[in-house]
Chain A
Amino acid sequence: MTSDQPLSPCPDGDFSASVLIVDDDRDMLSMLERLIRKKFRCEVKTAPSGESAWGIIADWRPDMVLTDVKMPGMDGLALLAKIKEASPATAVIMMTGHGTVESAISALKNGAYDFIQKPFDNEHLLHTLRRCLERLCLLEKNRRLQSRLAGQEACPGFTGASPAIKEVSGLISRLADTDVTVLIRGESGTGKELAARALHGLSARHSHPMVIVNCPALPEQILESELFGYAKGAFSGATHDKKGLFLEADTSTILLDEIGDLPIALQTKLLRVLQEKEIMPLGQTKTIRVDVRVLASTNQDLEEKIRQGFFREDLFYRLNVVTITMPPLRNRAEDIPVLAHHFLATFAAEYDRQGLVFAPDALPALVKRTWKGNVRELQNVIKRAVLLAGDAPISARDLTEPGVEPSSPRPIAGNPHGLPYNLAKQRLVEEFSAAYLAEALQQNSGNVTAAAQASGMNRQAFQKLLHRFGLAADAFR
């Protein structure tokens, strides 16, 4: 980086601040905006009055406010008081051309971070700003460390207190603020993406969006250009440069979801990125350095894939610096009630069904059930129950799929095994049809017209079926 480029105030380069400048003098405003943009890597907004600044702060919380003191309407001191009340963490720097000792004391005693006298030379201003940003950066770091210490809090999105999940969230907290490559394994529905989000969210990279690539969703050729980008003219149809996802994830995190499905040709290229921290877009001869943290997730047996020759062993070892294994729900059954309540609250709020509760038999039924689809299945079952719920509490019955036994598929009557599939299916359909028709006749006391109507058929079709299954309407009269 040369000295002309905007600098991040943090030594580790990963804190980007937001600054609001307030001054009734438009020239001063634009001069300050240009100066700050040029010198610091930060988001800058400006306001020509105290009132408009307060309006901006209502839905945009800047880390730092640089404000003139003397302005018509709401002056800097009034703005300071309002800001300190609403958002004590925001640093406020006051500037004034008509400074008196009293106003400076009053500003500083009311929580201003600093007080600058106009006219100031730019170096003095920049020095003050830099010091303020450094302090904000340290506060931010401190906040992150504190939240990591808070343990459970540290992993946003993880619910439950079982030893299995505690171990995982502890591991995540410890790994989050490193740049180490992490392989996240676990059955489908156990929260692999959630773990990746937690790793990203707790890292210093959290202010940049995480990029997620679903490897099996894209065909090989497209995946390569998606990941690494291409230069204009690299192939017919490449009419402009395309920034690949790795470049998109520069200074952030990339999650390669379902890495086991990455085509072997791309595995070689990925290996290069992991080793060299460089990418080479298609059709370009120069490599580009990227600062990306790589996370990969899979529910497949990668060791087996290596044996079969579908996965490169060297890539495996590159990715597998640290492994986080998400526990399946059966290993943390004690978390099911907490998770159930958590999802109930979430979906009740989402679908505006406040006040829903579980009946006493609901939770034991959930705990007993086998969850092949893990937490995601539990989540879906509760979502469905919330959507379909009446005013009564959600009972065990509401939490089962209609016609599906809670644990395993219903055993088929008779002995279908040993029969070819088609024959077994035919027999089952016949049994079902006969029972259905008999039930319909029973309900309608043998009245064929009524039974047909209740079954959504016309009379002729119903008669035909009765004939086929050897049923007589008379028998039900």
Chain B
Amino acid sequence: MAHIFVLDDVLDAAVLTQRILSKKGHQVTIFTDEQEAMQYVTKNQVDLAILDINLKKTNGLGVLEELRRADPKIRVIMLTGYPTIETARQALRLGATDYCVKPIDKSELEQKVSAALGN
């Protein structure tokens, strides 16, 4: 199954996502700090990243850009509680596979992840 990492400044939100996706058999690692997440990515092979947009220090779009630069093959789903057309536009232009809005339904999350992983 796929190796997924979740970055969300709210730990509970990240844990929730982890639970849902682990049940589907994925290996899920969670972070609340973008720097730790980036360090992890440089050392580990990750298939999919699920990124919040409003983070502690920077925002998820910056992380998206950096991730894509480090590994052009990585799939990224943006997950935000504050959707705007502008961030959606930027995210997709930067190569995000999808842009989802919180609160997200369990089955929708499963389906989006499955689509992003291409199966």
Task: Tell me if A101 and B92 are in contact (CB < 8 A).
Answer: no
Q: Is the CB of A101 within 8 A of B85?
A: yes
Question: From B83, which residue of chain A is reached at the shortest CB distance?
Answer: A101
Question: What 1/0 mask marks residues of chain A from 105 to 119 whose CB sits below 8 Å from any chain B CB?
Answer: 100110000110100
Those of A111-164 within 8 Å (CB) of chain B: 114-115, 117
Residue with the greatest number of chain A CB neighbours at <10 A, chosen from B84, B88, B92, B93 = B88
Q: Given the complex, which residues of B lie within 8 Å of A99, measured CB to CB?
A: 85
Within the complex, what minimum Cβ distance (angstroms) separates A124 from chain B? 11
Question: How many of chain B's residues have a CB under 8 angstroms from any CB in A?
Answer: 11
CA distance A198 to B110 in the complex (A): 56
The residue in chain B whose Cβ has the minimal distance to the Cβ of A101 is B83
* Docked CA distance A291–B24 (Å): 65
**In whole angstroms, how far apart are the Cα atoms of A109 and B92 in the complex?**
8
Q: CB within 8 Å of A: which of B80-96?
A: 83-86, 88-89, 92-93
Number of chain A residues close to chain B: CB under 8 A: 10
Within A57-114, the residues touching B (CB, 8 Å) are: 99-101, 104-105, 108-109, 114
CA distance A44 to B89 in the complex (A): 26
Contact B93 A101 (CB under 8 A): no
User: In the complex, what distance in Å separates the CA atom of A114 from the CA atom of B99?
Assistant: 15
Please name 19 further chain A to chain B contacts, defined as beta carbons within 8 Å, in addition to the given A101-B84, A101-B99, A115-B85, sorted by A numbering. Answer: A99-B85, A100-B85, A101-B83, A101-B85, A101-B88, A101-B101, A104-B88, A104-B89, A105-B88, A105-B92, A105-B98, A105-B99, A108-B89, A108-B92, A108-B93, A109-B92, A109-B98, A115-B88, A117-B86
3 tightest A-B contacts by CB? A108-B92, A101-B83, A104-B85
B residues bordering A, Cβ < 8 Å? 83-86, 88-89, 92-93, 98-99, 101
9 contacts between A and B (CB under 8 A): A101-B83, A101-B88, A101-B99, A104-B88, A105-B88, A108-B92, A114-B93, A115-B88, A117-B85
